[in-house]
């Protein structure tokens, strides 16, 4: 799978663990930065990852900041992105199964690298169930997105 990944300074160290892990699993990785632990702004890294996903240049995206919260807020502003902030293995599986999430957010200051790797592996391996009720709910989410498209205030 082609995976886009980005982090701010709060997620930089975990990104440096996750990138080689993804490569070891046989995935292709596009790393949009950041490239050191100097302070940067998470939206500047969320957007390029989401653009790669919505354009189809990457199948999935992974975003890491200190808590994962800023990244998930920013990512979910992008049309077509369904981003889940995940810090446990059950949610990693459930959000693919139920929500068909295409971006995963993780907080480096919340989980250790071992748990983060497992979250990433499970999230990548779990297919969307395609269940009728889940599709119906996602269509309702898309309707909300369509309703507010182009709104500037």
The residues that are catalytic are 65, 98
- Grouping H, G, I as helix, E, B as strand and the rest as coil, residue 107 is strand
69 to 88: interface string for ligand RB5, x by CB under 6 A: xx------------------
Q: Which of 40, 52, 65, 84 binds ligand RB5 (CB under 6 A)?
A: 65
By beta-carbon proximity to ligand RB5, the closer residue of 12 and 123 is 12
Cite the beta strand spans of 10-117 per DSSP E.
28-31, 60-65, 83-85, 103-107
Helix (H) or strand (E) holding 4: strand 2-7
* Binding to ligand RB5, residues 6-45 (CB under 6 A): 8, 10, 42
For ligand RB5, the closer CB: 109 or 143 = 109
> Cα dist. 127→15, 73, 85, 93, 123 in Å?
23, 24, 18, 9, 8
Stretch that binds ligand RB5, among 64-72, 75-83, 87-95, 125-133 (CB under 6 A): 64-72
* HSE of 153, CA atoms in CB hemisphere, 13 A: 0
Q: Pick out residues in 100-119 that bind ligand RB5 (CB under 6 A).
A: none
The dihedral built from the CA positions of residue 99, 104, 107 and 110, taken in this order, carries a sign that is positive
Exactly one of 3, 52, 61, 66 binds ligand RB5 (CB under 6 A); that residue is: 66
Binding site for ligand RB5 (CB under 6 A): 8, 10, 42, 65-67, 69-70
């Amino acid at each position: 799978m082609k995976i886009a990944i980005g982090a701010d300074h709060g997620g930089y160290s975990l990104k440096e663990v996750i990138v080689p892990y993804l490569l070891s699993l046989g995935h292709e990785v596009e790393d949009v930065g950041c490239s050191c632990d100097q302070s940067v702004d998470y939206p500047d890294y969320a957007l390029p990852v989401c653009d790669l996903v919505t354009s189809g240049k990457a199948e999935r995206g992974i975003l890491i900041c200190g808590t994962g919260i800023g990244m998930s807020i920013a990512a979910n502003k992008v049309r077509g992105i369904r981003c889940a902030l995940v810090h446990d293995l059950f949610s990693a599986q459930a959000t693919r199964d139920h929500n068909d999430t295409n971006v995963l957010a993780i907080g480096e200051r919340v989980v250790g690298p071992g748990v983060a790797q497992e979250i990433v592996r499970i999230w990548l391996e779990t297919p969307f169930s395609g269940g009728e009720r889940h599709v119906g709910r996602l269509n309702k989410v898309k309707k909300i997105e369509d309703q507010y498209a182009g709104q500037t205030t």
